[in-house]
Amino acid sequence: MDKGIINDVVEFVRDTFKAEYSGHDYFHTLRVYKMAERIAEQENADLMTVRLAALLHDVDDIKLSPGTYENKDRAVGFLRGHGVSEEMIKNICNIIGEVSFRGTDSVTPSTIEGKCVQDADRLDAMGAVGIARTFAYGGSHDRIIHDPEIKPTVNMDAEKYQGHISTSVNHFYEKLFLLGDMMNTDTAKKIAEQREDYMRNFISEFLDEWDGIR
């Protein structure tokens, strides 16, 4: 399989997310792609599978395309149109189906390739970029930044998490601060540790400023 398919899928993703401003945009996909590739090289995973799964991981996301989510129609259509084998398509779709955070129903991917993509996606929800994406998503979904009277909800299953409406600050406690312990690979665990520290320092400063302490 030549590298031309990578150029084509990048353009496909760019077109798919051209009007997306919630943080699940084209540049998010590119960051996940680059990080997944970096992790895969360390973990001796199949690079082409990881690259394609990373680039296509959000095109059928339930938040962005609920009509294609169940059968991964966009991903499957693209891959079949480029002559990818049915076995590889199945593997890629399995990876895409296992990537998402679903609260207590989150799954550990069944392959090393899936673990690389899931780790890369979760790392992009952490650190400085993760902070920016949290508030971008919150603003685009009419969520308030913070309300001390609204407490975080923990231990949500997939159904509760999917329909949960909270604040942007609570999202750190409901998801982002949990991700470090959910990483699959040693490479990702090391990166996650630094990014989590950055987020915790940010939230500490934010709450001090909110309360007028600083």
pLDDT, tens digit, 9 for 90 and up, residues 64-89 = 788 888 899 999 999 999 999 999 99
Report whether 120 contacts 183 (CB < 8 A). no
| Angle formed at CA 38 by CA 42 and CA 120, multiple of 5 degrees | 110
CATH number at residue 70: 1.10.3210.50
pLDDT of residue 160: 87
Report how far apart, in Å, the C-alpha atoms of 11 and of each of 47, 100, 136, 137, 183 are.
19, 23, 24, 23, 29
pLDDT, tens digit, 9 for 90 and up, residues 86-144 = 999 999 999 999 999 998 889 999 999 999 999 999 999 999 999 999 999 999 999 99
Q: Which of 107, 127, 103 is nearest to 175 (CA)?
A: 103
| Residue 105 domain boundaries | 4-210
Q: Which of 156, 153, 56, 49 is nearest to 97 (CA)?
A: 56
DSSP assignment letter at 8: H
How many domains is the chain built from? Answer: 1
Grouping H, G, I as helix, E, B as strand and the rest as coil, residue 102 is strand
Q: pTM for the complete prediction?
A: 0.94
